[in-house]
Structure 1
Amino acid sequence: MESERYFAGGITVVLADGSRVPARLTADEVYAEGKEIYRISLEQGTEVRTVKSGVDFFEALKQLRQELEKTGALLYCFGASEDVYPSGMQRSMGPAVLAYKMRIGFPASRQDIVSIFEADETVVPATVEQQERFHRRWIDSLLNSAQKQ
């Protein structure tokens, strides 16, 4: 079994009460039985959560986030930010470790590309549902802008 590590580092988990705790996240692409598996592990104290996806890292991160949401916790990184989502090309042409920061009414550009595992002060922690809703609003805003032209 061959693997490639895409990320290993610290990440912040926002708990249901709003407090923040440090954790460690690793993201590995594993080749097994002729398939690519995208595996993310989150170490929070002595607890380790691992998710796997056959699609890409963004999907694996989404699955991890849904597990955390059951306890009211959110990840503080671009991949879990309300206004960040990978394009179809980022997902189909690679492991989706990059995504676009979206602004309502404006198309994404190269300057808007971020790593889904990184963070800065502009991250807006969100549930998977909130992020998907924002993504749909952004797409609608582009369609509405195109129709007005």
Structure 2
Amino acid sequence: MQSESIPILTAGGVRGTWTVSASEEGPPWLLTLRAEDGREWTSEADDLFSAFQEIRRHTDAEGIKLCVNGARRDAHPSGMSRDMGGGTMLYVLPSRRGPRMLLSIFKRPTRRNMIYIFDPAPCESAVPVEEQIRYFTDWVGSDD
């Protein structure tokens, strides 16, 4: 199992570092988040992005922000990323939206628009799971 430290921000504004551990092969993918105070959340899913979203639902309810790319409003894996890489690499969704743009970025990935799920991100960019899902759904559905 691979472990790494991730930055967090509590509801009270306290910054910290927690540990996320992920299975090295899947599916199913097993993900565990450990807080500095010993609390632990575990999830198992078809890919790490889904497992991470499930854990975030619990931390969201406590007002805790996990300040990593996987919690960004504008980050989402492609189907191929989920199937072939377990959802560890995400795309940064450009401000231009719609199905044609979606096909464009998912077919031609670059280092500029792909990011690792657990790399640090500004806490201001971390949003609750439901907001992230709503943004992606709106982004895909728009034909601007």
TM bucket normalised to smaller: 0.7 to 0.9
Q: What whole-Å deviation, never above 9, does each CA across 1:52-109 have from its counterpart, x for those lacking one? A: 3231100110011011112111210000111101111111223111110112215334
Q: Partners of 1:102 and 1:123 in 2: how far apart? A: 17
Q: Which residues in structure 2 correspond to 1:11-26 (within 5 Å)?
A: 11-26=6-21
Indicate the residue corresponding to 1:84 in structure 2. Answer: 75
SS in 2 for 1:58: helix
Asked whether the 8 Å contact 1:104–1:137 carries over to 2, the reply is: no
- State the TM-score, normalizing by the size of structure 2: 0.81
Asked whether the 8 Å contact 1:39–1:50 carries over to 2, the reply is: no
| Deviation (angstroms), 1:20 | 1.6
Asked whether the 8 Å contact 1:98–1:114 carries over to 2, the reply is: yes
| Structure with higher RCO (Cα < 8 A, 6+ apart) | 2
Distance change (3 Å), C-alpha of 1:93 and 1:123: farther
Gaps of 5+ in 2: none
Q: Residue type of the partner of 1:13?
A: I
| Deviation (angstroms), 1:135 | 0.8
Indicate the residue corresponding to 1:130 in structure 2. Answer: 131
SS in 1 for 2:95: coil
Q: How many residues align?
A: 134
- State the TM-score, normalizing by the size of structure 1: 0.79
Indicate the residue corresponding to 1:27 in structure 2. Answer: 22
The answer to whether structure 1 residue 62 and structure 2 residue 53 are counterparts is yes
Q: Residue type of the partner of 2:135?
A: F
Q: Residue type of the partner of 1:91?
A: R
> Match for 2:5 among 5, 10, 24?
10
Specify which structure has the higher proportion of strand.
1
Asked whether the 8 Å contact 2:31–2:48 carries over to 1, the reply is: yes
Please provide the CA RMSD for this pair.
2.1
Distance change (3 Å), C-alpha of 1:83 and 1:10: same
Q: Partners of 1:9 and 1:94 in 2: how far apart? A: 18
> Match for 1:43 among 34, 53, 64?
34
Q: Partners of 1:122 and 1:103 in 2: how far apart? A: 19
Gaps of 5+ in 1: none
| Deviation (angstroms), 1:28 | 1.2
Q: Partners of 1:20 and 1:136 in 2: how far apart? A: 31
Identity %: 24
Indicate the residue corresponding to 1:53 in structure 2. Answer: 44
Q: Residue type of the partner of 2:33?
A: L
